[in-house]
Amino acid sequence: MQHHALAASDSLDARFDLVWREIHGKLQRRARHLCRGDIHRADELLSDTALKVHLYLQHSAERVQNLAGFMFLALNHAFLDQARRQSRENRVFDRDCDSDDEHLEGLAGATPTPEQELTLKQQLYLMASTLAGLTPQQQQLFQLKFEQDLPYPQIAAVLGINEALARKRVELLRKRLRQQLA
């Protein structure tokens, strides 16, 4: 029994590693785009994404149909979490005062608390179930726009529609995802 669990864990890790390596460049470009070119914030965002996906896969791997798409969705959510955290910090901390940098670096490297892990797991579960609930056409559109980060003219060409309709469909997909993830 324990041997079977270890084998499943190894195959899960191998699947994660394979997909991560395959799309790392695209994830990195998306992270840098979201962080407006800030390489350090983008690297932090990628680390948060990897952690969220890895934690989710440990408990609900069977729910993830499209691991690459799930990674992009987790990246977007990690970015939103980072932006919210930064906003809260800006309201709480006075950035003009001197601080003990070593203390702050120690806090930044701390492992997540059980509450944070639970929140991450819940968010990832919601993301996976939302992605699984998309129609095949919506999944294709999600892949073209959010995984491959294609511009609208290329999306329109792939789908055989005009650019305005491609924009509208992406807008409707975003709206549906926001509603389901809210």
Q: What is the pLDDT along the chain (182 residues), one digit of tens a residue?
A: 545 554 556 777 788 889 889 999 999 999 999 888 888 888 888 888 888 888 888 777 788 888 888 899 889 888 888 888 777 776 665 555 555 555 555 555 567 788 888 888 888 888 888 888 889 999 899 888 888 888 999 999 999 999 999 999 999 988 888 888 77
Backbone torsions φ then ψ of 112, nearest 5 degrees: -65, 150
Structure tokens at 98: 């001197």
**Residue 26's pLDDT is what?**
92
Tell me the chain's radius of gyration from C-alpha atoms: 18
Domain definitions of the chain by residue range? 1-94+106-133, 134-182
Token pair 């699984």: residue: 132
- Total-model pTM: 0.49
| Mean pLDDT estimate for the chain | 81
Determine the Cα–Cα distance for residues 10 and 172; give it in Å rounded to an integer. 38
Token pair 């983008």: residue: 42
**Residue 167's pLDDT is what?**
92
Percent of the chain with pLDDT over 90: 19
Task: Check: CB of residue 153 under 8 Å from CB of residue 167.
Answer: no
**Residue 179's pLDDT is what?**
84
Structure tokens at 121: 């797991």
Task: Please write the tens of the pLDDT for every residue from 56-109.
Answer: 887 777 888 888 888 998 898 888 888 887 777 766 655 555 555 555 555 555
